[in-house]
Structure 1
Amino acid sequence: MQAFERRRDRFALFDAMDSAAVNICFPLALPDFRPWCREQGLAPFHVLLCAVLRAVLKVDNFRYRVLGGEVIRIERLIPSFTVTNQYHDLNFAQFDWSDDLREFVARGIAAREAASRMEALNMEYAARTPLQAKEQVFVTCIPWLAFTAIQHPSASLAQPDIPSFAWGKYREAPHGRLELPFSVQAHHGFVDGFHIHQLAQQIAAELDVIIAPGAPPPRAG
């Protein structure tokens, strides 16, 4: 929390505003990890989800939350993301973290399948403790659209302390790269544009490590 104390005055400034959210949408450049996913039999969305969440944990500013009126730093993440059911209605998938990439993907797929079979809204999140509710980021994927802007809903305009992420349709980029629209919404008292840049760089770095030649293969669960 020492790093946060250096910016407590920035937090006070933005937290007093009607909306403390900063929301940036940008083209995210990544290594093309899809061939590696095909070789490994792993779903690309879930590999990217893992890379995004690992990056969140490494950029400290994305770990700050407000709980009981006090700023805290979370120590873990509960993975969650949106899915659609048979009627194309939104639902929420949540699962327990695993450091094992293959197990992470398997748990994510199981959570997706369970949530997508539900007609009613999945209320698992409502049973979380106040701290567990903060141990999330909100993730959605819109693979049909190369969007250029997005507005994430917030439970409280004055306290958007749980970051929201969205990404969209992939497109080929030069030199074996991919590009996709990526959106970050966070509390401006915690996160500036520079930290969003750090997150983008870290996501790409996480994928580079995952697909690097000679890297240990993802362990079986």
Structure 2
Amino acid sequence: MKNFELRRDRYEVFRQFDNPLLNISLTLELPDFRPFCKQRGLPPFHFFLYCVLSAIETVDNFMYRVHEDQVIKIDDFIGSFTVINEDNNLNFARFTRSTDLREFIARSVRAGQEAKASRALINTNADLTPRQARDNIYITCMPWFEMRAIEHPIFCHRSTDIPSLAWGKFSAPAGDTMTMPFSVQAHHGFVDGYHVHVLAQAIASRVAAVMAADAGA
């Protein structure tokens, strides 16, 4: 929490806002991981999800939450994401993350399949305490279009402390790099535009590192 104390005064200002949320949409540039995934039989979405979630852990600002009116720093978070079920309706997948790439992907794929098969809306927080529910990152992917911006549904702006990340359609293959529309929503008391930049860099670095480590294994 040492790093948070350096910005507590910023948090105290923004926490008084009716809407303290920062929303930034950008074009994310990173190594093209699709050939890598194809060669290894890995689903690109779940590979990228692994890289995103492990990158978030390296940026303290995305790990702060508010619990019982106190700022805390979480140590880990739940793997979760949105899916479209067989009725073409929204549903939610949840799973326990693994640091092992292939185990993570296996769990993520299985959770996605269960959510797709469920007609009932899955409440991924139903069995969690209020404190456990803070251990989350909201993830959604809309691969059908080049997303320009997104506004997430908010129950209460002032109490929203969990970051929401979204991305859209991948760019067409064009060499060693790829782009995608990427959006970050977070509490401005914790996150500035600079930290979104740092996260974008961390995601690209993580993709490169995972690919390099697997190729050398």
Same fold (TM over 0.5): yes
Task: Report the TM-score when normalising by structure 1.
Answer: 0.95
Question: 1:175 Cα shift?
Answer: 4.5
Aligned counterpart, 2:135: 135
Distance across 2 between alignment mates of 1:128 and 1:35: 38
Aligned counterpart, 2:204: 204
The aligned amino acid for 2:17 is M
Distance across 2 between alignment mates of 1:175 and 1:104: 28
Distance across 2 between alignment mates of 1:173 and 1:191: 32
Residue correspondence of structure 1 range 31-50 to structure 2 within 5 A: 31-50=31-50
Unaligned runs of 5+ in 1: none
Distance across 1 between alignment mates of 2:154 and 2:216: 40
Distance across 2 between alignment mates of 1:95 and 1:125: 12
Distance across 1 between alignment mates of 2:57 and 2:25: 20
Question: 1:155 Cα shift?
Answer: 2.5
The aligned amino acid for 1:39 is Q
Distance across 1 between alignment mates of 2:106 and 2:13: 42
Give the aligned CA root-mean-square deviation in angstroms. 1.3
Change (3 A) 1:213 1:138: closer
1:102 is the counterpart of 2:76 = no
Distance across 1 between alignment mates of 2:173 and 2:115: 33
Change (3 A) 1:214 1:143: closer
Distance across 1 between alignment mates of 2:104 and 2:132: 19
Q: Secondary structure at the match of 2:157?
A: coil
Aligned counterpart, 1:8: 8
**Is the 1:173–1:179 contact (alpha carbons within 8 Å) kept by the matching residues of 2?**
no
Change (3 A) 1:19 1:75: same
Distance across 1 between alignment mates of 2:108 and 2:122: 15
Q: Secondary structure at the match of 1:128?
A: coil
Q: Secondary structure at the match of 1:88?
A: coil
Q: Deviations over 1:71-121 (max 9, x none)?
A: 000000101000011111000000001000000000000000001111110
Distance across 1 between alignment mates of 2:163 and 2:74: 12
Aligned counterpart, 1:116: 116
Runs of 4+ in 1 over 3 A off after TM superposition: 172-175, 213-217
Question: 1:30 Cα shift?
Answer: 1.1
Aligned counterpart, 2:79: 79
